[in-house]
Structure 1
Amino acid sequence: MISRSETTAAINTALGRSRVVALLGPRQCGKTTLARQFVPSDSPNYIDLEDPLSLARLDEPMTALRDLTGLVVIDEVQRRPELFPVLRVLADRDPLPARFLILGSASPALLRQSSESLAGRVETVTIGGLALRDVGTETMDSHWLRGGFPLSFLAGSDADSFGWRKNFIQTFLERDLPQLGIGTPAATLLRFWTMLAHYHGQVWNAAEPARSLGVNESTTRRYLDLLEGVFMVRQLQPWYENLKKRQVKSPKIYFRDSGLLHQLLGIRTPAELLTHPKCGASWEGYVIEELLAQAKHDEAYFWGTHSGAELDLLLISHGSRIGVEIKRMDAPRLTPSMRIAMEDLKLERLTVVYPGTKRYPLAEGVEVMPFREMCAGSHSIVLGESR
């Protein structure tokens, strides 16, 4: 089994200070495997709401849960939203005989229910698939192509991985989303999702997809919010302030899993990826997801002006601004856009991430960093602190 030590540590920390911890992420990303490291699946303290026996146990939820002690895991909790008021009562007991780790497939309804019923009692830990730090930087090419879903990454061949992702998308649209109460036809969402693959790394414009689908712009925004709510895409929001410049104020769109992006683009092999027109955008999104998964930051944005200056990633941590520029080239150089970003945004430093092997300075406060070194090292590299 692949160790996900940093994720496990984050769950342990949350359990140490919170009465209820919600572990959220897309289906098949490894939530259940992680939870079973804390409570074995054959324990009475492990309740899987996709198991008919567990569902039967919770016909009377207060009776079933109130006598349990220690850590209690409830998997796929969004299937029984009526449990949240019960969990609120159980979490308020003093002394507290049990803490709860609840697992959910990233449903907006789940987040709403938990925030309404468990306000002040629940801490959320959000995960995706396997990160590069989990599987080792030597696997980067395969990890980028296949993505981080465990069964996709660990498949016996690229063809098997591609087939798994195809089936995942079909099942996700036809079964998982309807179970979350989403009634949009699967064929419509597949068309939209496929269109979205071509927006990966670009500023969102609702007008073109709306015309293609024959719907209004508010409908496409709702589809986009839906896919973001189930952790399939990321809307990276723009940073803008009074700079006396026309700045971009629409989000950029990124797929959170590079493997799903490649499946929808029809990319099956490393050779096809490297020659595809979206190769650069794919790598940019892949790097952004890996950095956001490990960088210590309070907020993350991109920045751009209508005159062409831009910054791929702006991380804000404890009031400091750290810029990240992503370049898929052999030897990045200092550009006018980097100088403008340093000056206009008053960056503490700017890190240029590239796929090479050498680390070198470009200017005062600007350094080129190999991507593998960032992922193999600590978070502090991203934030420009001493190693």
Structure 2
Amino acid sequence: MIEREIATELRERFRRYPFVVVTGPRQSGKTTLCRSVFEQTGCAYVSLDALDRRAQAEADPRGFLASLGTPAIVDEVQHVPDLFSYLKELADLDGRNGQYVLTGSENLKLSGTVRESLAGRASQLRLMPFSLKEMRMAGASTSFGEVAYSGFYPRIINERLEPREVLADYFELYVERDVARMGGVGNLSAFRQFVALCAGRVGTLLDLTSLSDDVGVARSTIRNWLTVLERSYIAFLLAPHHVNVRKRLVKSPKLYFYDVGLVSYLLGIENSRQLVTHPLRGPLFENIVVSEAVKHCYNRGREPRLTFFRDSRGLECDLLYERGHGINAIEAKSGATVTSEWITRMGRVAATVRSITEQTIVYGGDTAMTWRDVGIVPLEGLAEALTGFDSGTQP
């Protein structure tokens, strides 16, 4: 079993806060992470996925927590949201750090479960499916075709399972359990169609009217369903870049999925060979690049500061990765042959967005190079490029 990139940050946060909340998609490895990190500390463990333990926590929360003791891991805590008020009470009485690790498969900030009473007492981390680096550590291929087909869920990678079978079960379980529990989705059949249509729109500007027309539901319903996808860590929106932050909020964002394998499943892709000539090869490659940047930030305990650039003349850049010392403009190109046109367009973007201090092209080839100050890296070189930019050194 490999150690996840976020493990060091988890240990440090637990030392500094009474509670650490670890959220992320189902099957991203939250339970395995927490139990492996704290297995030597005598940390108790309970899962609220188990109906009997959930009933106990709902009926007698004080007794439940007293019997559990500290330190402890409470898994899938979103099932008993009222537990947070009792946790707050314990934190105030005890005053120690390192009391509870709470995990959940919802974005608790979006769901409103983590109430203001936990402000200053809880630190939230997000665990996504494997990064490309973690896939390599697990012995899996990081070639575009294999990655886009299998995705990043640890169970598929570690057990060498057939992705379509696992992802079919995963999606049905997600719809039947998480979506139904969160509420707001009356027509599950239409919701399934909506998610499949979203998969076909990865890397494109969000068009609520088009989705509304295609699914046959109101725009307000589409907005609500997008929130469900965000709450459950299935999809996320990337805002457009603008110097005026308020204007970013009124421009159309782009839509991506956290796991590209789920996108391939929803598109009906049956094997990795289909991805060589698939019409959505480019957007799928772009989805990997953008989601990898998101994971890179989350694994280091940071909120991503990511946008994309597009102007009225059609000049665009897939990803602007921002840190305090500047912006790395990142373009995703699934082709294996570097062209001068790629470099020229990157130069035009850099001349337009003055705060860009570095330029990176992630491409479908396997050799890293530099061309006119533009770093060109294969897919598996992206993490190293981001780390280099984080530290202020050239890749």
Is the TM value for this pair above 0.5? yes
Secondary structure (helix, strand or coil) at the match of 1:93 reads: helix
Q: 1:26: which partner in 2?
A: 25
Indicate how the Cα distance of structure 1 residues 332 and 145 shifts in structure 2: closer, same or farther if over 3 A, else same: farther
Q: Is the CA contact 1:145–1:258 (under 8 Å) kept in the aligned structure 2?
A: yes
Select 1:255's aligned residue among 257, 261, 266. Answer: 257
Residue in structure 1 matching 2:377, options 369, 372, 386: 369
Bigger CA drift: 339-348 or 76-85? Answer: 339-348
Q: 1:150 to 1:22 in 2, by over 3 A?
A: same
Alpha-carbon offset, residue 182 of structure 1: 4.2
Query: 1:383 and 1:97, CA in 2 relative to 1: closer, same or farther beyond 3 A?
Result: closer
In the other structure, the counterpart of 1:274 is 276
Query: Residue 148 of structure 2 is aligned with which of 138, 144, 149?
Result: 144
Counterpart of 1:112, as a letter, is G
Contact 1:155 1:161 in 2 (8 A): no
CA offset at residue 384 of structure 1? 5.5
Alignment of 1:308-347 (within 5 A): 308-329=314-335, 330-333=337-340, 334-346=342-354, 347=356
**2:2 aligns to what?**
2
- For structure 2, which runs of at least 5 residues remain unmatched after alignment? none
By how many angstroms is 1:233 displaced? 0.8
Counterpart of 1:356, as a letter, is: G
Letter in 1 for 2:87: L
Q: Find the aligned partners of 1:248 and 1:363 in 2 and give their Cα distance.
A: 35
Q: Does 1:186 align with 2:194?
A: no
- CA distance in 2: counterparts of 1:248 and 1:304, whole angstroms: 14
Three-state SS of the structure 2 residue aligned to 1:176 is helix
Where does residue 380 of structure 1 map in the other structure? 388
Partner of 1:348, secondary structure, is strand
Q: Aligned AA for 1:331?
A: V
SS at match of 2:36: coil
Query: Aligned in 2, Cα 1:204/1:378: closer, same or farther, shift over 3 Å?
Result: closer
CA distance 1:170–1:53, change in 2 (3 Å): closer
- Cα gap change, 1:110/1:68 in structure 2, threshold over 3 Å: closer, same or farther? farther
SS in 2 for 1:136: helix
More helix by share: 2
Is there any run of 5+ residues in structure 1 with no aligned partner, and where? Answer: none
- Which whole-Å CA distance do the structure 2 matches of 1:196 and 1:293 have between them? 21
- Alignment CA distance shift 1:319-1:66 (3 Å): farther
Instruction: Give the corresponding residue for 2:76.
Output: 76
Q: Deviations over 1:153-192 (max 9, x none)?
A: 34545xx321111111111111222123344322111010
Match of 1:176 in 2: 178
1:229: how far off?
Answer: 1.7
- Asked whether 1:55 is paired with 2:54, we answer yes
Q: Which amino acid aligns with 2:124?
A: T
Q: 1:381 to 1:370 in 2, by over 3 A?
A: farther
**Larger RCO of the pair (alpha carbons < 8 Å, separation 6+):** 2
Query: Which one-letter code corresponds to 1:133 in the other structure?
Result: K
Aligned to 1:290, the other structure's residue is in SS state: helix
C-alpha RMSD over aligned residues: 2.7
The question of whether the paired residues in 2 share the 8 Å contact of 1:204 and 1:251 is answered with yes
Cα 1:16–1:223, aligned 2, differ >3 Å: closer, same or farther?
same
TM-score computed with the length of structure 1 as normaliser: 0.89
Equivalent in the alignment of 1:132:
132
Q: Percent identity?
A: 27
Shift of 1:215: 2.1
* CA–CA separation in structure 2 for the residues paired with 1:240 and 1:363: 26
Could you say if the C-alpha distance between residues 325 and 384 of structure 1 is closer, same or farther in structure 2, counting changes exceeding 3 Å? farther
Of 299, 302, 313, the match for 2:308:
302
Q: CA deviation at 1:359?
A: 2.6
Correspondence for 1:206: 208
> What is aligned with 1:101?
101
- Structure 2: how far apart are the matches of 1:232 and 1:95? 36
Question: Per-residue deviation at 1:320?
Answer: 1.6
> Which shows bigger deviation, 323-332 or 255-264?
323-332
Call closer, same or farther: CA 1:60–1:38 in 2, change over 3 Å.
farther
TM-score if structure 2 supplies the norm length? Answer: 0.87
1:200 aligned counterpart, secondary structure: coil
Q: 1:269 to 1:155 in 2, by over 3 A?
A: farther
Judged with a 3 Å threshold, the aligned counterparts in structure 2 of structure 1 residues 110 and 88 are, in CA distance, closer, same or farther, namely: farther
Kindly indicate whether the alpha-carbon contact (under 8 Å) linking 2:111 and 2:231 is maintained by their aligned counterparts in 1. no
Q: 1:355 aligns with which of 364, 368, 382?
A: 364
- Tell me the amino acid that sits aligned with residue 116 of structure 2: E
Task: Give the match for residue 292 of structure 1.
Answer: 294
Indicate how the Cα distance of structure 1 residues 151 and 118 shifts in structure 2: closer, same or farther if over 3 A, else same.
same
Q: Which of 220, 223, 228 is the matching residue for 2:222?
A: 220
Whole-Å separation in 1 of the counterparts to 2:286 and 2:98: 43
Measured in 2, the distance between the counterparts of 1:113 and 1:383 equals 35
Query: For residues 378 and 186 of structure 2, what CA distance do their matches in structure 1 show?
Result: 42
Tell me: CA distance 1:292–1:156, structure 2 relative to 1, closer, same or farther (3 Å): closer
CA distance in 2, matches of 1:322, 1:156: 35
Aligned residues: 379
SS in 2 for 1:36: helix
* 8 Å CA contact 2:320, 2:330 repeated in 1: yes
| Secondary structure of residue in 2 paired with 1:139 | coil
Matched, 1:122 2:128: no
Which has the larger displacement, 277-286 or 54-63?
Answer: 54-63
Q: Secondary structure at the match of 1:92?
A: helix
Over 3 Å counting, the alpha-carbon distance change for 1:361 and 1:377 in structure 2 is: closer
Task: Tell whether the 8 Å contact from 1:202 to 1:253 is kept in structure 2 after alignment.
Answer: yes
- Give yes or no for contact 2:184–2:224 (8 Å, CA) kept in 1: no
